[in-house]
């Protein structure tokens, strides 16, 4: 039975301090890189969500020792290419595109066929974007349904380094090839459209031979296989993608204020802050500091009742890719028309989010103009929701659930939102934190 969240009242004004769950991108990368290092690595504040647990379960199946404690997690790595391969292994990436794509990079030397499966949502997403470059290293892939999970990978003992052009602005594709480079002799060269750079920062911190040349649109990355990766501890900061829901909640609430402590504000991730600020949101970054190449800060948000529409520059798309649903909600309450373009990638996520974003706004009574890769939103600062709204059958996309919850609490109306458990992919404490803020 699907669990349903019912919301019939707007949130009261609040003034609170919160901590959000750990960064998902960093948690998954830590798990996968620690699996290739030598000896004991520890991560504190690691995100204990279904996506990350699926990553831990996957490396366990590949012979890596994992211990989970209340506040931290330990991995005892077996060195580079140290997976213990067995016949008939199946790895289940569940809902996680990041896990499914990144781990394939580490499997290109598997002597046996390994099956990679995913849940219903992940099995609708394209995997050729990553199996094509990994084939060039020498791995072989077998699909049942064209370019969709489940697939099988058979590695090669004579992998060769490649030159790769990443042209979608996908950090998953870039990182998967970077991980393959860890177990491939020679120099792998990547020309990648700008996207989140956590893998690069971790490689640098771990002294893995990496050279990066940045131009305006592309990064040129050269990687050589390291001899060894040292075990490493990591204190995972809060996730900006999870914070974004509370940033918009506060922005759209009356007379409210929120401090979110200890969030990763890596410049390649904070498109949401840039966009909301351009729209007139009151957001400031406090107590900024550096941690192992990443930037961290506290985020202070105050309500703003005069947001204005935005013609969003596409250069910001990649740095806000997981935040567009919640940005669309802000645009629905802004004065004037907002326009977001070149966003075809948004329909390639856990659900077709460009379509779903538009659909939810329409249910709320907000007019949109939708194309295959763009949306125009006709903002209504005084929006009143007149019809009851039911959100269901959205492939359990965690971000659809959270966006709908914030919409209900800030715009009012009567809402029934199905699949409460969807938040467990990325932000298990979402509703618990919400209760702390919304004391009604």
* Residues at the contact surface with ligand S3P, assessed by CB under 6 A: 25, 97-98, 170-172, 175, 195-196, 321-322, 345
User: Choosing from 23, 322, 397, 419, which is the catalytic residue?
Assistant: 322
Q: How many C-alpha atoms does 423 have within 13 Å on its Cβ side?
A: 23
| 161 versus 172: smaller Cβ distance to ligand S3P | 172
Helix-strand-coil split of the chain, %, nearest 5? 35, 30, 40
Non-local (6+) Cβ contacts of 227 within 8 A are 80
| 42 versus 196: smaller Cβ distance to ligand S3P | 196
Residue nearest to ligand S3P (CB): 25
Minimal distance, residue 439 CB to ligand S3P, in Å = 31
Concerning whether 219 is annotated as a catalytic residue, the answer is no
Q: Label the pairing between strands 114-117 and 89-92.
A: parallel
| 200 versus 309: smaller Cβ distance to ligand S3P | 200
Minimal distance, residue 29 CB to ligand S3P, in Å = 7
Give CA–CA dist 30/55, Å, rounded. Answer: 10
| 29 versus 333: smaller Cβ distance to ligand S3P | 29
| 177 versus 411: smaller Cβ distance to ligand S3P | 177
54 within 8 A of 94, measured Cβ to Cβ? yes
Token pair in block for residue 296: 């961290």
179 within 8 A of 106, measured Cβ to Cβ? yes
Preceding omega of 157 cis (within 30 degrees of 0): no
Minimal distance, residue 185 CB to ligand S3P, in Å = 25
DSSP readout, 368-418? EEE-SS-EEEE--TT----S-EEE--STT-HHHHHHHHHHHHHH-S-EEE-
Give CA–CA dist 23/161, Å, rounded. Answer: 30
In this structure, how many other beta carbons lie within 10 angstroms of the beta carbon of residue 374?
Answer: 17
Which residues carry out catalysis? 322
């Amino acid at each position: 039975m699907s669990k349903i969240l019912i919301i019939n009242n707007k949130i009261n004004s609040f003034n609170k301090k919160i901590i959000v769950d750990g960064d998902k991108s960093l948690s998954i990368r830590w798990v996968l890189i620690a699996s290739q290092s030598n000896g004991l690595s520890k991560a504190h504040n690691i995100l204990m969500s279904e996506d990350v647990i699926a990553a831990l379960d996957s490396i366990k199946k590949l012979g890596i020792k994992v211990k989970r404690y209340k506040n931290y997690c330990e991995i005892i790595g077996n060195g580079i290419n140290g997976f213990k391969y067995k016949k008939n292994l199946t790895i289940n990436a569940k809902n996680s595109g990041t896990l499914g794509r990144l781990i394939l990079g580490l499997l290109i030397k598997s002597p046996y066929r390994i099956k990679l499966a995913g849940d219903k949502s992940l099995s609708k997403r394209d995997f050729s974007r990553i199996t094509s470059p990994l084939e060039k290293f020498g791995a072989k892939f077998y699909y049942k349904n064209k370019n969709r999970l489940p697939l099988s990978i058979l590695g090669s003992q004579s992998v060769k380094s490649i030159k790769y052009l990443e042209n979608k602005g996908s950090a998953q594709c870039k990182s998967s090839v970077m991980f393959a480079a860890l177990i491939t002799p020679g120099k792998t060269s990547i020309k990648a459209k700008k996207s989140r750079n956590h893998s690069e920062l971790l490689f640098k911190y771990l002294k893995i031979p990496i050279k990066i040349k940045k131009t305006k649109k592309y990064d040129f990355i050269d990687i050589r296989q390291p001899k060894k990766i040292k075990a490493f501890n990591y204190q995972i900061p809060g996730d900006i993608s999870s914070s974004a829901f509370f940033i918009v909640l506060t922005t759209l609430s009356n007379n409210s204020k929120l401090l979110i402590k200890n969030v990763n504000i890596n410049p390649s991730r904070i498109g949401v802050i840039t966009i909301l600020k351009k729209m007139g949101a009151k957001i400031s970054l406090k107590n900024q500091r550096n941690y192992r190449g990443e930037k961290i800060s506290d985020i202070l948000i105050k309500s703003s009742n005069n947001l204005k529409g935005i013609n969003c520059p596409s250069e910001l798309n990649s740095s806000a890719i997981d935040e567009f649903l919640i940005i669309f909600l802000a645009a629905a309450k802004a004065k004037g028309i907002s326009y977001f373009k070149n966003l075809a990638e948004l329909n390639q996520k856990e659900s077709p989010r460009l379509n779903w974003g538009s659909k939810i706004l329409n249910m709320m009574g907000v007019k949109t103009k939708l194309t295959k890769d763009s949306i125009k939103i006709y903002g209504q600062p005084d929006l009143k929701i007149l019809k009851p709204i039911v959100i269901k059958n959205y492939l359990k996309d965690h971000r659809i659930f959270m966006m709908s919850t914030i919409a209900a609490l800030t715009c009012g109306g009567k809402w029934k939102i199905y699949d409460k458990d969807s938040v467990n992919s990325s932000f298990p404490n979402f509703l618990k934190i919400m209760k702390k803020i919304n004391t009604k």
